[in-house]
Chain A
Amino acid sequence: MSDGAARAGQPSVLIPVAPGTNRNQELADAFARAGARTTQIPLAALRQGETKLVDHQILALPGGFSYGDALGAGRLLGLDITSWFGDQLQEAVSRHMPIIGICNGFQALVAAGLLPGGGQPAALVANESGRFECRWVTLEPGPAPSPWLDGLTGPIRCPVAHGEGRLTVADPVAVEGHVAFRYLDDTGGPAAGRYPHNPNGSVGDVAGLVDTTGLVLGLMPHPEDHVDPRQDPQRGRRHDGLARGLFEAGVRAVTA
């Protein structure tokens, strides 16, 4: 389905929907607020060539439980990405297409080897608590350079909702330059591995990664769930941490 009528010069965001994907509509809404046109398409229809990756300007992989998290969160979707769309993806990357994967989308990008990239092994495994966790977190953008982060002037706040979000890497030093978001505590200091500020026990409080180009971004928390002040559980107490700027930056990167 294509959401809304196209305007001239409006970038198009492709949002594939695998069996079990469920945050696609919120992601589409967040990009629509940022001025993009969105196409949500079942994976089977994408596989049959109903549209091609390169006909769009941004690829966005939403959250959910693709394939029911069978064999590990994001693994089978990651396999689809490499085995069905490997060539298209190569072309998209070579054309500098911004790609974002959120939660299950992030897990799939890691499983597909696109993040952190460069052949560095990484995995998103079961939370340290052993439980699915749904709670709001505070995120500090950077330090890795990325067009997705341009214009994010301070920390953002948004919910996590996952059971397998603990980043583990073979070499923590080597991913340092890939860090796109870190968990903070509620005073703005580093979460320093403390639960619940770092909700899953990720190494180095890492909540999100970019590849070496900065164009491919993945993160466990859900910025698409804080694009309107109405969504903020602290509404009536404070007004900050809106995550809308992330989607605006992505759209700006392909319209500038």
Chain B
Amino acid sequence: MVGPGHADQTEAGPLAQARLFGFDVERIEQFRLYHLEGDLSADDLDRLAGALLTEPVGQWWSTAEEHLAAVAGQPEGLPGPPGCRVVEVGLRPGVTDREGAELVRASRELGFDVQAASVARRLVVTGRLSDAQLAALSSGVLHNEVVERWAEGLLEPAFTDPEAKSPGTDHLVVRRGTDAELAAVSRSRRLGLSLPEMRAVAEHFEALDRDPTDAELETIAQTWSEHCSHKTFRARITFDDPAAAPVDGLLDTYLRAATDRIAAPWVRSAFVDNAGIVAFDDHHDLAIKVETHNHPSALEPFGGANTGVGGVVRDILGVSAKPVAVTDVLCFGPLDLDPAEVPAGVLHPRRIRSGVVAGVGDYGNKIGVPTVAGAIVHDPSYTTTPLVFAGCVGLLPHGSHRTRPQAGDAVVVLGGAVGRDGVGGATFSSQSMGAETADIAGSSVQIGDPLIEKGLIDVVVAARDAGLYNAITDCGAGGLSSAVGEMAEGLGAEVDLALVPRKYPGLAPWEVWLSEAQERMVLACPDPAAVLALAARWQVGADVIGRFTGDGRLVVRDGDDVVVDLDTGFLHDGRPPLELRAAVLDSARPPRRPVAADPAAALLALLAHPSIRSNEAVVRTFDHEVLGGTVIRPYGGVAGDAPADGTVLVPPGTPGPRGYAIGVGVNVVLGRYDTEAMAWATVDEAVRNAVAAGADPGQLSLLDNFSWGNPTDPTTLAQLVAACRGCHDAALAYGAPFVSGKDSLYNEFVGPDGRPDPVTPTLVITALGVVPDVDQGAPVTGVTAPDHDVWLVGPVAGALGGSHFDDMLGADHGGPVPAPDPAAPARHRAVHAAISGGLVRSAHDLAEGGLAVAAAEWALGGRLGLRLLDGDAVGDDVLFGEGPARYLLEVAPADGARLAELIPGATRIGVTTALPAVSIGGGALQVGLDAIRTAFVHPGGDLAATPTTTTNPEGGPR
């Protein structure tokens, strides 16, 4: 027991959360608690605690029993004065416990006899709580059932059983099974296989004249899962409208088709590997991938987001690239949601947000890769289905990624040992969630260990440079089964599970084969000894577990027992194709109804909109500086509190001034009304953000990430088809190919009433571009000087249909949503010409909230003012309308003529001012910077309330 305790008083702390849930609690103090198993005298304990557990200044330790006796108050603290209740929370046995492992290691190095150790925490709760309330407080706020256990008073230490026996391998009867029997097999093992798929399996094994083992069936289920095989994106889709031509695979028809038609010379590899690869300079390529980790993050926000980052970083390692940047787009329900409205089995959005944010930061920070770009978006549908999009950029010498394992190569596993963690993750994430999912899927979620991943990065990069492997892939969903299975496709491999390192005994062979224990890579090595020596030097685990054979069969043994013997042809091509039906969408929009809103009040409300307001406090918990290559950060300006458009980095190990920009687009408001328009708008936003940061629109690459509901619902599917069509058309228009993507489907929550609650269709587009010269052609964030001219690129008015203005008002007032603009690509090119020509001092794109929000953020960055459209009448469409390819540029007066030449159609709409206020339309909208900052940084009040007052609550410009 180590003190003093820490009482976290922050918004995300347990006290604030407990009160949010309505518990009558005065104080919650947290202490560190260590369980030690071993032969330790009182003197040993004292020395061990002094050396390892306490700081020399201001900390003490005691045994848990003594401390309990000292703090425990009246257990029946109700009614009467508040009493102290002591709750202890620890990890479930088998959940990753890095600190416990280090404590064992360090204790032994110091000569103490410690057999096992685990880290837990004690919470001393002061308040009036019944036993039932205490239990509710613990499960609602203090611990997470999925990975933790709790007790009032002393928590029994729980270590894994060193004597546990493996249950061995089972056979499952599928031959000559009736439909009902086959469905029962799929259901009882949570395989997620449909009846036609189970029939294909049964026929295959009838021909073999035997039944499959549990390991074989699980291998097939993982390989055929939505997560691994993307069957919806490969399905044949027919339409309720007989005139509509069927679509033979969304991937081939739209996404890959756009890439093929563009045939961009900078694309090195698209859609075929763990990540897309594009050219950077004459010697280096960049790899990029964005993944979703939605289902795990809903259940265990910290672990889900943590392993989401870990997984996408390994995707980058899986194309032999060194990870150099991490991105994250996070989608949560309303933070002010009444806890009574949170359905059973769902965590409150606040709790999900604090866990996810901590999980992203913990992983990125600890592996030493800067987390540089992203967004936080809010929508009511994200309450039950929060979304986590984690991305990673990597750097590799051109031509250094080898992809062909050879017969005779050793199968080498690098990284951690396997446990029961994450067993069945791919099938789990390919199904809908319900109230009971948390109980059933507990083992599908896990905690990451970034320390091991950091070692993997060092070893893989060194092994790549030394040419020590012929192929590499990561162990993601499906664990070894999918990693080895994919590498062995057409070649064949033999694996002995007895050689796979385990965290603890007692695992069934199929669990070892399927375990999604994180932080592992599989390599095909002609000379495994060299890789093993390299790994030992970096203190990373490495084991030879088999070899690639050349006979086209996937054979897995556990010692002498054969547990898998499958034809890789059947495994990868035997899945019966999926057929789906889509409805006809009606995207017609009602005409616009007039809205009475005071412009200044509307601007301040928009600045406080959950998807617009400052996330600086979150972003600063992510290290965006490590590796030393960051040039444009997520937040910049004089005081570092203004949002940048894209972020710019120079890859480590390259000399500069060439860099790369990352732009992110996401627009959930449009997803409610028109997914095709959303796709266009989202592609444009990603492009715009990259171009505003200095990227050349003539060398952009895109990634598509879909988070959608259930595709067997014809309307949901039709929305997906429309979005893919929009992606295709926009990519062609902008000349920007897709190089990678990921679809996450079945993002719906089936409540106790059996009605599905689907996520609002959400598309994240990530743009990766080259910035030819970051020293001359990457505009700074926020305006730089007074008395400069402000130029507007693009139409002065935007669309209000599907705008954040309407979303802020809490109602759809009709009117068309933003339409594709045929002139947009030319405007992006012209803006880049002006930026790379050194004419643009600072730039900001017009995005959510239109001109007024852009002007406010931009002025805030420079701690200066703006006077725009001084003599013009401005309506809501000018102030708050949204649309593609619109920018504000700050240009010195002397450069105006050249700018007008480079950007035909750009309009000089005003000036920067020393007076720190934003004025648009000759005072039609006038707001001081202090008010802007207060609204943007410290939003408060009812965000959905209609601003109807005509007085500026802040009293005008200051």
Chain A residues engaging chain B, CB cutoff 8 angstroms:
17, 19-20, 22-23, 25-26, 29, 42-45, 63-65, 67-72, 75-76, 79, 83, 121-123, 125-126, 129-136, 159, 161, 168-170, 186, 222, 224-225, 227, 230-231, 233-237
Residue in A122, A230, A236 whose beta carbon sits within 8 Å of that of B650 in the complex: A230
CA A123 to CA B455, docked complex, whole Å: 28
Contact B454 A132 (CB under 8 A): no
CA A79 to CA B109, docked complex, whole Å: 10
Other 14 A-B pairs with CB < 8 A, given A25-B652, A130-B8: A44-B538, A63-B626, A70-B99, A70-B103, A71-B102, A75-B52, A123-B55, A125-B55, A130-B13, A132-B621, A134-B620, A134-B624, A161-B626, A230-B656
- Chain B positions within 8 Å of A227 at CB level: 628
- Chain A positions within 8 Å of B784 at CB level: 236-237
- Chain B positions within 8 Å of A65 at CB level: 365-366, 450-451, 454
Contact B636 A233 (CB under 8 A): yes
Per-residue CB proximity of B362-405 to A under 8 Å, as 1/0?
00011110000000000000000000000000000000000000
Residue in B10, B537, B628, B656 whose beta carbon sits within 8 Å of that of A29 in the complex: B628
- Closest chain A CB from B548 CB (angstroms): 30
Is B51 engaged at the interface, CB distance under 8 Å to the other chain?
yes
Contact A42 B657 (CB under 8 A): no
Is B729 engaged at the interface, CB distance under 8 Å to the other chain?
no
Contact A25 B625 (CB under 8 A): no
- Chain B positions within 8 Å of A234 at CB level: 638
Contact B780 A132 (CB under 8 A): no
Residue in A19, A76, A79 whose beta carbon sits within 8 Å of that of B454 in the complex: A19
- Chain B positions within 8 Å of A135 at CB level: 620, 640
- Closest chain B CB from A7 CB (angstroms): 20
CA A45 to CA B538, docked complex, whole Å: 8
- Chain B positions within 8 Å of A159 at CB level: 625
CA A230 to CA B624, docked complex, whole Å: 15
Contact B368 A64 (CB under 8 A): yes
Is B106 engaged at the interface, CB distance under 8 Å to the other chain?
yes
Is B631 engaged at the interface, CB distance under 8 Å to the other chain?
yes
Residue in A123, A131, A222 whose beta carbon sits within 8 Å of that of B621 in the complex: A131
- Chain B positions within 8 Å of A29 at CB level: 628
CA A25 to CA B8, docked complex, whole Å: 35
CA A233 to CA B621, docked complex, whole Å: 17
Given contacts A231-B631, A236-B841, contact A23 B102 (CB under 8 A): no
Contact A22 B367 (CB under 8 A): yes
Contact A230 B621 (CB under 8 A): no
Residue in A20, A26, A230 whose beta carbon sits within 8 Å of that of B451 in the complex: A20
- Closest chain A CB from B102 CB (angstroms): 4
CA A151 to CA B253, docked complex, whole Å: 64
Contact A23 B57 (CB under 8 A): no
CA A240 to CA B638, docked complex, whole Å: 14
Residue in A70, A186, A235 whose beta carbon sits within 8 Å of that of B98 in the complex: A70
- Chain A positions within 8 Å of B638 at CB level: 234, 237
Name B's interface SS.
Answer: loop
- Chain B positions within 8 Å of A17 at CB level: 458
Assign chain B's interface to a size class: 35 or more
Contact A126 B56 (CB under 8 A): no
CA A67 to CA B451, docked complex, whole Å: 7
Is B633 engaged at the interface, CB distance under 8 Å to the other chain?
yes
- Closest chain B CB from A164 CB (angstroms): 10
- Closest chain B CB from A199 CB (angstroms): 9
Is B622 engaged at the interface, CB distance under 8 Å to the other chain?
yes
CA A134 to CA B650, docked complex, whole Å: 19
Chain A residue with minimal CB distance to B632? Answer: A233
Residue in B451, B626, B775 whose beta carbon sits within 8 Å of that of A19 in the complex: B451
CA A224 to CA B620, docked complex, whole Å: 19
Residue in A71, A168, A235 whose beta carbon sits within 8 Å of that of B103 in the complex: A71
Contact A20 B454 (CB under 8 A): yes
Contact A68 B627 (CB under 8 A): no
- Chain B positions within 8 Å of A222 at CB level: 625
Contact B623 A134 (CB under 8 A): yes
CA A65 to CA B369, docked complex, whole Å: 12
Contact A68 B58 (CB under 8 A): no
Contact B620 A68 (CB under 8 A): no
- Closest chain B CB from A197 CB (angstroms): 11
Contact B55 A72 (CB under 8 A): yes
Contact B368 A22 (CB under 8 A): yes
CA A222 to CA B8, docked complex, whole Å: 27
Residue in B8, B450, B621 whose beta carbon sits within 8 Å of that of A133 in the complex: B621
Looking at A69, A126, A186, A236, which has the most chain B CB atoms within 10 Å of its CB?
A236
Is B900 engaged at the interface, CB distance under 8 Å to the other chain?
no
Contact A23 B536 (CB under 8 A): no
> For residues 754 through 783 of chain B, which have their beta carbon under 8 Å from a beta carbon of chain A?
774-775, 779-780
Given contacts A44-B539, A230-B656, contact A76 B106 (CB under 8 A): yes
- Chain B positions within 8 Å of A75 at CB level: 52
- Chain B positions within 8 Å of A43 at CB level: 539
CA A129 to CA B106, docked complex, whole Å: 29
CA A150 to CA B756, docked complex, whole Å: 68
A-B contact pairs, 30 of them (CB 8 A): A17-B458, A22-B366, A22-B367, A22-B454, A25-B628, A26-B627, A42-B538, A45-B537, A65-B366, A65-B450, A67-B102, A68-B98, A68-B366, A70-B99, A72-B55, A76-B106, A123-B56, A123-B59, A131-B621, A132-B361, A133-B621, A134-B622, A134-B624, A161-B625, A168-B58, A169-B57, A222-B625, A225-B626, A231-B628, A231-B631
- Closest chain B CB from A3 CB (angstroms): 11
Chain B residue with minimal CB distance to A132? Answer: B621
Chain B residue with minimal CB distance to A18? Answer: B539
Contact A230 B657 (CB under 8 A): yes
Is B53 engaged at the interface, CB distance under 8 Å to the other chain?
yes
CA A131 to CA B784, docked complex, whole Å: 31
Looking at A42, A70, A72, A227, which has the most chain B CB atoms within 10 Å of its CB?
A70
- Chain A positions within 8 Å of B451 at CB level: 19-20, 65, 67-68
CA A165 to CA B227, docked complex, whole Å: 42
CA A63 to CA B623, docked complex, whole Å: 12
Per-residue CB proximity of B630-645 to A under 8 Å, as 1/0?
1101001011100000
CA A116 to CA B117, docked complex, whole Å: 32
Contact B628 A71 (CB under 8 A): no
Residue in A23, A25, A122, A230 whose beta carbon sits within 8 Å of that of B775 in the complex: A230
CA A236 to CA B632, docked complex, whole Å: 12
Top 5 A-B residue pairs of the complex, sorted by shortest distance between their CB atoms: A22-B368, A70-B102, A123-B55, A236-B780, A121-B56
Residue in A26, A121, A130, A236 whose beta carbon sits within 8 Å of that of B10 in the complex: A130
Per-residue CB proximity of B440-466 to A under 8 Å, as 1/0?
000000000111001100100000000
- Chain A positions within 8 Å of B898 at CB level: none
CA A227 to CA B458, docked complex, whole Å: 24
> For residues 823 through 859 of chain B, which have their beta carbon under 8 Å from a beta carbon of chain A?
841-842
Contact A42 B52 (CB under 8 A): no
Residue in A23, A63, A71 whose beta carbon sits within 8 Å of that of B106 in the complex: A71
Residue in A169, A225, A230, A236 whose beta carbon sits within 8 Å of that of B625 in the complex: A225
Is B110 engaged at the interface, CB distance under 8 Å to the other chain?
yes
Given contacts A68-B102, A70-B102, A230-B650, contact A134 B625 (CB under 8 A): yes
Given contacts A44-B537, A132-B365, A236-B841, contact A23 B6 (CB under 8 A): no
CA A233 to CA B537, docked complex, whole Å: 37
- Closest chain B CB from A223 CB (angstroms): 11
- Chain B positions within 8 Å of A26 at CB level: 626-628, 652
- Chain B positions within 8 Å of A45 at CB level: 537
- Closest chain B CB from A183 CB (angstroms): 15
